[in-house]
Structure 1
Amino acid sequence: MEIFTIDKVRKTFINGEVEEEILKGINLTLKEGEVTALVGASGSGKSTLLTIAAGLQPTSEGQIIFEGKNMTVMSSEQVRKVRASKFGFVFQFAHLVPFLTVAEQLMLMLDVSESKLKKQEQKREVDRILKLVGMDHRKNAYPSSLSGGEKQRVAIARAMIHKPKVLFADEPTASLDSKRSKDVMSLIQDLTKTLNITTLMVTHDEEMLSYADHIIKMSDGLILYNKDSNLAPKEMA
């Protein structure tokens, strides 16, 4: 089912006296249970598109429609509430709080998302999601004792703990080696299917594209193509 629509979105910045158009009328539809990968050279507009879709910056023109509601006409507080309750985020680095244990990282996210679960229910949910990402045995560990791959698993669990509808992943494997990158992408793919969420991911790594259902290639603020992930990497040049 279609859950997210990016409709004729443009983004313009003023650089001195020069107007720079970063996005030039983007149209994109995202579905539940699918991973969509945004690829393209630096400056192509993919990260700008992701942050606009996530409500982290406004459009210059166009609409972001989520669950049938136009986010571009919402107040900043309404958008904040959507982000907190409906969206999850994973970045290149895990950005874990150094003085919180793995379990406490997730409990904090439940508080931020204004979860209505009681404390005991929250603890059970933390145990459930940590088991799902293979980190239940490390729930009392602090970030300093975790490997890079483990930190990203915790970051994914934190992004999923409040049961978001959409996961935004910005270069989630860029700081990892090849094996850990594949492990993390396999986890994101599995959770997208298992939890029936919508994942929008920015990546430079062509090896990660096999984990996506759709590949969007961008260049100079435009979508060059939108194809299924059975596209071979060599055809992407």
Structure 2
Amino acid sequence: MAIFTIDDVRKTFTNGEVKEEILKGINLSLREGEITALVGASGSGKSTLLTIAAGLQPASDGQVMFEGTNMTNMSPEQVRKIRASKFGFVFQFAHLVPFLTVEEQLMLMLDVSEAKLKKQEQKNEIDKILKLVEMDHRKNAYPSSLSGGEKQRVAIARAIIHKPKVLFADEPTASLDSKRSKDVMMLIRNLTKTLNITTLMVTHDEEMLSYVDSIIKMSDGQILQSAV
């Protein structure tokens, strides 16, 4: 079932009198419980497409449909609420708050989300998620004592603690070595399937493509090839 539909999305940037079309009519559907990878050379439009789908920037034209609702017609506040309650984000670097423990990182995410849980309920959810990402033994640790792979596991836990419908991952393994990259991708795949999340991922690493369900190859703002 398609939870996300991107219909003829275009993005144009204007620099003085020069207009540059970054996305040239993208059509894409994302299904529940599947990982879709966006691949292509730098400048092909992958990250622009991901940020438009995630509501981080508007499209110049076209529609982004999420759960049957056109996000393009929403106010910035309505889009912000969807991001806070329905979307999770993982980036190349974990961006953990240095003075917060692992548990506190997740507590902060729950506080700013739409989850509205009592403190004990929050602690119970945090324990569950940390166990899923195999970081429950490190919940009182600070980021400075974590390895790169452990930091990314915490970042993933933070992204899914509020039970989002969609996970957006922009180069989630780019800062990791080969072994840790595979561990993180296996974790993302397992969580996508176990929690029935829809995952849209940008990656340059072809070794990570064996973990995804669909591959979308982009070039010059267009989809060249779609493979399942």
Residues 1-237 of structure 1: pairs in structure 2 closer than 5 A? 1-228=1-228
- Structure 1, unpaired ranges of 5+: 229-237
Counterparts of 2:27 and 2:112, CA distance in 1: 31
- What is the alpha-carbon distance in structure 2 between the residues aligned to residue 69 and residue 173 of structure 1? 32
Q: Per the alignment, in what secondary structure is the counterpart of residue 164 of structure 1?
A: coil
Percent of residue pairs identical: 86
Counterparts of 2:218 and 2:129 in 1: how far apart (Å)?
34
In structure 2, how many angstroms separate the alpha carbons of the residues matched to 1:67 and 1:3?
5
Query: CA RMSD, aligned part only?
Result: 0.5
For 1:178, the aligned partner's letter is S
Q: Which amino acid aligns with 1:216?
A: I
AA partner of residue 177 (structure 2): D
Aligned length: 228
Q: Distance in 1 between matches of 2:68 and 2:107?
A: 30
Between 106-115 and 60-69, the greater mean CA deviation after superposition = 106-115
Task: Give the deviation of 1:47 after TM superposition.
Answer: 0.3
3-state SS of the aligned residue for 1:144?
helix
Query: 1:196-233: per-residue Cα shift (whole Å, max 9, x none)?
Result: 010000000000000110000000000001111xxxxx
> What CA distance in whole angstroms lies between the structure 2 residues aligned with 1:70 and 1:211?
30
Deviation at 1:112, TM superposition (A): 1.0
- One-letter code of the match for 1:80? R
Report the secondary structure of 1:141's partner residue: coil
Q: What is the TM-score with the length of structure 1 in the denominator?
A: 0.96
- Report SS of the residue matched to 2:37: strand
Large movers: runs of 4+ above 6 Å: none
Offset from partner CA, 1:78-109 (integer Å, 9 cap, x none): 00000000000000000000000000000100
Give, in whole Å, the separation in 2 of the partners of 1:58 and 1:105. 29
**TM-score, scaled relative to structure 2:** 0.99
- Deviation digits for residues 114-166 of structure 1, max 9, x if unmatched? 32211101100000000000000000000000000000000000000000000
